[in-house]
Chains A and B, each alone.
Chain A
């Protein structure tokens, strides 16, 4: 399990990185944290001729408020999100979800941009970004930028709209208002594994517990993380009664089309998506009711 030969390039700024990408395009891969890429290289499932190590581009490592968004630089590490008070304040859903990413050693190296660009439908960050209707800022070699929403960016299993000469520059998570409640739930075979299914939810409720606003997405059960628009629409103005939750579960299950694998049948994962959606909603509503969107 040793990687094949490659040439190593280490740009010091974004422009240089993009120039390398333009030059080597399809033969090159971007190396940031390497936590997804290097295993595949060790197994020789991938053997890029060039690796462009972007980890030294220092101005892409930041977490800051930018209008209605929490803007996170592509090279920000998972552990930085985990430890950030700003993230806890502005986007507690992200704080909660980040702890489900692998194990500490992985979070110490893995980057936000890497996780998004990898396009794994069962990864946590894409699911959160999809639920929140966040944005992905892409840098082009000519210096221009594009801003895509998750729906446009995630195309299918492990495939994004990112072109060989483009790079994820920033990921923008909408700020979650204080009065909202949010929850991230995931079930995996073991702690730290990719989820069999995962759900990210944010809700606003009125004093009687009617839902005013719902954003919810599931991961791991479709080729891309999926916003449950039908569920969201259905829930507006409703309280979470047993009947409503049953309906939520059914609607969720209609919105997903998981595949069978070693860890669960399609039927199981479909049902699990429904169950987790119901549970996540209950927690989110509970947190909104408490007026204290506290994520432990």
Chain B
């Protein structure tokens, strides 16, 4: 039974090394072995997106990966977005400002999908945002405020970027 395998990953910048059963889902590894419960399980068959995390900087559904598959990978979860008890990052703050969450259960998945999306899409259209979040289900908000939040975050990030490039140019 216990043909455990060694898994070594970086989770939010920290190295984690554990012996686990090969069947342990990556979500359960993060939640149970790393004690990071911000990553949620919503459907466990790859549809709802609540368990979305970044593996080597790509958003993936952690319920459709075994922990052992992530061996050697760099993992980021919602807990990486801001420092403990520290201020919210731009995207998190935009979610709060725009009431882009109600129960908040699906929110970490959205945040991780969007964290990646906003890197490549500095000035996304509404349609691009809708497409980007179409793999994440939310049952409370009806999505409208999530889209607003992304628009706000994109604007702020763009401004920050141009400011910092001005600074560096000086």
Contacts and interface: CB of A to CB of B under 8 A. Distances in A.
Is A in direct contact with B (CB under 8 Å) within the complex? yes
Interface of A: 1-8, 10, 31, 34-35, 38-39, 42-43, 51, 53, 55, 79, 102-106, 108-109, 191-192
A105 B45 contact: no
B69 interface: yes
B63 A42 contact: yes
B120 to A, nearest CB: 10
Interface of B: 1, 3, 5, 21-23, 25, 28, 44-46, 49, 52, 58-61, 63-66, 68-69, 113, 117, 131-132, 134-135
Chain B interface helix/strand/loop/mixed: mixed
B63 to A, nearest CB: 7
Q: Which of A1, A39, A43, A104 has the most CB of B within 10 A?
A: A104
Given A39-B45, A42-B44, A53-B69, A105 B23 contact: no
A29 B61 CA distance: 20
A109 B64 contact: yes
Q: Which of B21, B22, B63 has the most CB of A within 10 A?
A: B22
Listed from nearest, the 3 A-B pairs whose CB atoms lie closest are A103-B135, A8-B22, A1-B44
Nearest to B117: A104
Contacts of B22: 6-8, 51
Nearest to B130: A191
B134 A1 contact: no
21 contacts: A2-B23, A6-B23, A7-B22, A34-B64, A34-B66, A35-B64, A38-B63, A39-B46, A42-B44, A102-B135, A103-B135, A104-B113, A105-B49, A105-B59, A108-B59, A109-B60, A109-B61, A109-B64, A109-B65, A191-B134, A192-B135
B141 to A, nearest CB: 17
Contact of B1 (A5, A108, A191): A5
A103 B69 contact: no
B139 to A, nearest CB: 14
B85 to A, nearest CB: 30
Contacts of A192: 134-135
